[in-house]
Structure 1
Amino acid sequence: MNHHSEYNNDIEAAVEVMRRGGVIAYPTDTVWGIGCDAACAVAVRRIYEIKHRADSKALITLVADEDMLAGCIEGEIPQACLDYLRESDRPTTIVYPKGRNVASELLAEDGSIGIRITRDNYSNDLCR
């Protein structure tokens, strides 16, 4: 088996776990993360349990690209945010005023959501 097919098998296996509401550990562009399907409330709650994190301390949501980002927020992506994200070479999480299409557990009390477009190949492929 070559490296490419092993990589694809790893991605497919991780995606299957997430589709079933499971939780995975995976590399991101900053640290190893604990991840799940952001639309699955049961899985998101499980991450809070694993991390022993208070519900009020928000988790960040990773997306693959600007289109996926747009699907997770209400309204348009502010142009200033797009400009910054396109120019920055550093991992950047931005808090948007209103999230959508994700588990409510990922939203802060005011409905805001922290999202980062991941540039790490593995986590980006997982998001796709």
Structure 2
Amino acid sequence: MNADIIKAIEVLKAGGLILYPTDTIWGIGCDATNEQAVEKVFRLKGRDAGKSLIVLLDSENKLESYIKEVPALAYDLIEYTEKPLTIIYSGAKNLAANVIHEDGSVGIRIPRHPFCQQLIQRFRKPIVSTSANISGEKSPANFSEISEKIIEGVDYVVSIDQNDDTPKIPSTIMKLEADGRFVFIRK
């Protein structure tokens, strides 16, 4: 795993794209603070730049670095949820402009996956996580379902978990307002 982390960090620092396992489905990732790298993700996926991307952090303690006002409820949700949870927060900051939705919000997840945790912690920046598929196509349930176009379109493919054929599902997504109001986007 260490060799994968070292190589992935090298690619991320150079503004490249990685294909990597997460606590949900395989993701296409890049430095979430690098606008040119984020643009590469949109191009590879054929995704409308108006659609926002999910960002991964290694710890809820880093939320305040990227969100103007973190609702207190967010910390409880992150701590007690049993299923992977992406929370959309208003008031995004310190991220590439094209990661942030036009309304100023951003979706952030704290993954519980050893590779992701170590990668983000050692990279010291948030990374993008978007499903490893062409926009509009079905999200791959495991590595074997990822198209050759995606595999060939990234700069590095992480080797761990490639043989894990356990079907994976995307995270639950909820929008959480500063005053504690929330709505589920995807359950």
Q: Indicate whether the TM-score tops 0.5.
A: yes
Give identity over the alignment, percent: 41
Give the aligned residue type for 1:11: I
State the match for 1:117 in structure 2: 110
Q: For residue 10 of structure 1, report the CA deviation from its aligned partner.
A: 1.0
State the match for 2:131 in structure 1: none
RMSD value, Cα = 0.9
State the match for 2:75 in structure 1: 82
> For residues 9 and 113 of structure 1, what CA distance do their matches in structure 2 show?
31
Instruction: Note the alpha carbon deviations across 1:49-91, whole angstroms, 9 max, x for none.
Output: 111110111110011001222211112x211111111111111
Secondary structure of 2:66's match? Answer: coil
> For residues 62 and 88 of structure 2, what CA distance do their matches in structure 1 show?
15
Structure 1 segments, 4+ long, off by >6 Å, are none
State the match for 1:3 in structure 2: none
State the match for 1:15 in structure 2: 9
- Map 1:20-31; keep pairs closer than 5 Å: 20-31=14-25
Q: Given that residues 69 and 117 in structure 1 are in contact (C-alpha distance below 8 angstroms), is that contact kept between their aligned partners in structure 2? A: no
> For residues 46 and 20 of structure 2, what CA distance do their matches in structure 1 show?
19
Give the aligned residue type for 2:108: I
State the match for 1:42 in structure 2: 36
Larger helix percent: 1
Match of 1:52 among 25, 35, 46: 46
Show structure 1 runs of 5+ residues with no match.
1-6
> For residues 9 and 69 of structure 1, what CA distance do their matches in structure 2 show?
28
Show structure 2 runs of 5+ residues with no match.
122-187
Give the aligned residue type for 2:27: G
> For residues 81 and 61 of structure 2, what CA distance do their matches in structure 1 show?
18
State the match for 1:4 in structure 2: none
